[in-house]
Amino acid sequence: MDSIIVTGNGPLNGTIPIAGAKNACLTLMPATLLSDEPLTLTNAPRLSDIATMSELLRSLGAEVTSMQDGQVLAMSSHTIATTKADYEIVRKMRASNLVLGPLLAREHEAIVSLPGGCAIGARPMDIHITALEALGAEIELKDGYLHAKAPGGLKGATHELRFASVGATENVVMAATLAKGTTVLKNAAREPEIVDLVHCLRKMGAQIEGEGTSTITIQGVDRLHGATHPVVTDRIELGTYMLAPAICGGEVELLGGRIDLLEAFCEKLDAAGISVEETEKGLKVARRNGRVKAVDVVTEPFPGFPTDLQAQMMALMCTAEGTAVLEEKIFENRFMHAPELMRMGASIEVQGGTATVHGVERLKGAPVMATDLRASVSLILAGLAAEGETIVNRVYHLDRGYERVEEKLGALGAKIERVKG
């Protein structure tokens, strides 16, 4: 397996172009199953997860063509050859479950394997199942597969999610676009990726209101048509690279960055002593004076502090002045990076869903192991500011969510290289 070697090399300066959002693109791609006309996505990120979703869609009969160095995806689901999403593909990635709603809506049946992805805790499918059942679907679990059918098609209904699940919101919104009648989804997730999905579906002819709020209303239509849509900026990649100058010093401009995608995160950076300024091209980030100050963090659904930036924030807090308490309220098993940071000299105590980080003057390079996608990049960030060499092993997770990390950080002056395994 590949490893990444990072050597602390002082402040970082320059610009980083922020890619299209992985989580948005993985949601937008299954929308092609809702129509027999072409759907084209621009500003697509170049990631292994995108390749996996392309493989899954092709297995269902869709045509998926990657153009312009992977930044344009041209898709067409003129014919759906099968409604079975096989385990061998689905196991690689959690977002594979997002074909369930579109297949049910258009074909009135689907057989979808239970999904895989990072081992960061339970992400139950029962929220998806209950919501789709409210629309008239009949779903049972057999041999690791969800067998779903909707004789006569889905029907609009009012349903409240027991938790504001992003995936369940996306599945239901897509399914409801072709349902008969009106669907009102309450306690819906409000993430920018969902807003982006709705904007794309609306271009395809869907009738949807309320995106970005906790109540989304969908009026079902008979069919959707083709469209072209740009993928929204990746707020998690944005936040990750905002932390690079925060940890190392220097000044970095993030091209395409927007504060409205990360307001809660930006508030924490300000409290820690990090300057974030809007520019004509994006955001400029720099550490104000001296050591970063410790700040407490509680992860919450949007618009709160993103769970996908918790590991990276912990890396920043490792050398902060004072003690920071990070409380993880989204996933119960998302502190696996803490022991690896401790190998680098961090002082961290984990108890249940809470991690207490006592800032130290300096981290020291060490061999560490990546346990999941966001943990991978948190260890790289820590290595950028550590004394000596840090070897991050098992970085295959990294390629699922960050494109060309070595190239982007290297352009800022970081000493970073990939070693093929």
On whether 22 is known to bind a ligand per the annotation, the reply is yes
What range defines the domain where residue 137 resides? 22-230
Half-sphere exposure at residue 3, Cβ-oriented, CA atoms within 13 angstroms: 14
Range scoring the smallest mean pLDDT among 116-125, 163-172, 318-327: 116-125
Catalytic site residue 248?
Answer: no
Question: What pLDDT is attached to residue 116?
Answer: 52
**What CATH number corresponds to the domain at position 33?**
3.65.10.10
User: Can you give the pLDDT at residue 118?
Assistant: 39
Residue 94 labelled as part of a binding site: yes
Mean pLDDT of the chain: 94
10-24 pLDDT tens trace: 999 999 999 999 999
The last residue of one of the domains, among 191, 215, 230, is: 230
State both tokens at 369: 């192991």
pLDDT at 343 over 80: yes
Q: In this model, does residue 119 exceed pLDDT 60?
A: no
Query: Choosing from 118, 200, 266, 318, which is the catalytic residue?
Result: 118
For residue 346, name the pLDDT band (cuts at 50, 70, 90).
very high
Q: Specify the pLDDT at position 143.
A: 86
Q: Residue type at 387?
A: E
Same domain, 226 and 253: no
Clarify whether residues 241 and 304 are in a common domain: yes
Q: Is 259 annotated as a binding residue?
A: no
What pLDDT is attached to residue 1?
Answer: 82
308 belongs to an annotated ligand binding site: yes
Q: Are 124 and 216 within one domain?
A: yes
Does residue 219 register a pLDDT over 60? yes
Strand partners of residue 209: 217
Looking at the fold, whether 131 and 30 belong to one and the same domain comes out as: yes
Same domain? For 128 and 254 the reply is no
Whether 265 and 348 share a structural domain: yes
The C-alpha angle with vertex 26 and arms to 141 and 299, in degrees rounded to 5, equals 85
Q: What is the rounded distance in angstroms from the CA atom of residue 137 to the CA atom of residue 123?
A: 21
If asked whether residues 346 and 240 sit together in one domain, one would say: yes
Rounded Cα–Cα distance for residues 386 and 340 (Å): 13
pLDDT one-digit tens code per residue, 134-157 = 999 999 988 889 999 999 999 999
Query: Which residue's structure tokens are 């932390």?
Result: 243
One domain for residues 201 and 111: yes
Condensed to tens digits (0 to 9), the pLDDT of residues 370-406 reads 988 888 999 999 999 999 999 999 998 888 889 999 9
The CA-atom distances, in angstroms, between 210 and each of 174, 189, 199, 221 are 14, 11, 11, 17
Reported confidence tier of residue 125, pLDDT bands at 50, 70, 90? confident
Q: Are 172 and 284 in the same domain?
A: no
Supply the pTM of this predicted model: 0.91
pLDDT for the residue 286: 98
> At which of 185, 210, 230 does a domain end?
230
Q: Is 91 annotated as a binding residue?
A: no
- Domains in the chain, number: 2
